[in-house]
Each structure stands twice: as structure tokens, then as C-alpha cells.
Structure 1
Amino acid sequence: MTSTKSIYLAGPFFDDNQINRINQVLELLQKNDTVNSDRIFVPMQHQMESEKFGSFRWQVGVFESDIRQVRTADVVVAVLDYSKDGDEVISDPGTVFEIGMAFEHGVPVVLVQFDESKKMNLMLARSYATFFRGDGIQNLASYNFNELPSNILDVDVF
């Protein structure tokens, strides 16, 4: 089974742990027969190195590139883990923005959460096509991105 499905891999990459999570998800997606490995856009690999980090030109370039990639992706895969506050997983605001943008543009969202959380924001809890968490994340390697079968979790919301 082959596919030309393009993936936008959203998630924070501000520390080594976050980068490792992105790389783990990327590795699983690259093993998946329904994902075109050449069409996985990972924002941390496209940071407009030609411009000074944080400069106005860098901000505009990175923002425009990322939103264009979200709008044109077949699927957004979003890593929710950013930090933890007790039992609650806090998501990166940029990743949440990308999830909302994808939802608004009709791009299916696949949520990934390494640390299980007892509660989730209502808007995130109802905005996805499928959800992988904990040990279930390994199923990204065999998930059918062509058909996008649902894996809806019943979670407490706030």
C-alpha cells in the first residue's frame, strides 16, 4: 500500500526532550507505507537559517512557510507534549494554533501525546481525526493515513 500523503509534523522543539519526541514521531511516520517520507514537513528543519533568529524577516519567513505547509498538507500530526503541570499536559501555543488552523482548513489532525493527561482542553479534545497516546504512539508506523480510521478517546475536558 503506497501513498503520496503529505504530513505536517507540528510540535514544540525548544529542548532536547521535545526534539527527541518529534524525531520519534518522524521515525514512525517514515516507516509507514501510507505516508510519503519525502513529503513530511518538519518545521524545526525549516527555520530560515538565512535570516537572524528572531528578526522581523525571520519571523515573517518562518510564519509564512509554516502556515502555507499546514494549508497544503494532507494531514497534520501534532505532538501535544510541551510541559506538564501535575497531571495535566500543557500544549505548546504554536502547536495549538497549527491544530486550529488545520481544522479550519479541513485538514485532518492526528494528535500524539506521550504523557497521558487526565484532562484536555475541549477544543483539542474534539478537533482531531484520531489520537495516539502512551504506548499507542507506536501504531503511527502502521496507521492507515489513506483512510484515517478514528481512534476517539473519551477524556475529561476543561
Structure 2
Amino acid sequence: MKQPPHYSGLSKLNHWVTALLVTVMLVLGFAAGGAPDEATEGYLMSLHIGLGFFVFLVVIWRVAYRLYEGFKANTASTAPERWLAWAVHRLLLVALVAQVITGPLYLFTEGEGVDVFGWFTVYLPLESLAVIHEPAELVHVVSGLYVIPALIALHFLGAARHYLSNRADAVDL
């Protein structure tokens, strides 16, 4: 796999669009989980599910494009930092793919469809796979509540450290 010296403009756009959508999806998921009543929870989940259709498309595109373009050469200063950066980038992409697959799978295995804001519904008849309904739900919820937020926090801290260390290197003292 090739390692570009820097990310392309399209990669940066993919990153920030995905970051925005994932943040909105996390907020909607957390808000639905803490909703004061079933009507509010249902409304928030309908937004979460409808937007999830588009997030599915963006995440699959982003991951496919990242695999095609390759990852930027790792410039972390120590071997443990390089390993952590390598792992966090890839785990975050894997977790996002798991999210966009387990969300619809969770619905399809229960005989429901992905209702996209009332415009159309995507439905796959997977009720016969009901045995994977609970595992899909578990992966989706645990990943959304704990794994993805933790990976985002590590990614953010690494980006901040990278940015600040590069700024410190660029300053003449």
C-alpha cells in the first residue's frame, strides 16, 4: 500500500464530513438514550435512523477511498506513538464500518426497515437471521457508547499532540 506524503483535499473533505456526521449521530444516539419519554426517544431515533442511511454511504465511501489512497506516512516521534497512531486510525475506520452495518442489521433482523425521513424505506427481509439481532444490537450500542468515543478522544489527543509538537519545532527560540 502506498503512503502519500500528505492527505489529498478529497481525503480531508471526507474526514471532516465523516467527523461531522459521526458527531451528529453520536449526539442523536446519546440524546435518544436519555430521552425523557418514548415520544421524544422515537423522534430522535427516527432522525438517527434516517441520517444513518446517508452516514452509511459516506462511511463506506470514506473507508474505500482511504484504502485506495493509502495512509499518510506516520511521523510520530516514538515507536509506541507510531503504533498507537497506526492502531487508532484503523480501529476507528473498522468501528465506523461496524456501526453502519450493525445499525441496519439490527433493524432488518427484527423485520423493520431503514425509514429515511419518510421519503423512502430501505428494507432487507432478514427476519430469518433473528439470532444475530441481539449481537448486532450489542455491537452497535457498545461501539456507539464506548468504543467510538474513546477512539475519537485518542485521535483528537494524538492530533493535538502532533499539531503542538510541529508548532514547537517550527518556532525559533
In which range does the TM-score fall when normalised by the shorter chain? under 0.3
Higher helix share: 2
Q: Which has the larger radius of gyration?
A: 2
Scaled by the length of structure 2, the TM-score of the pair is 0.26
Higher strand share: 1
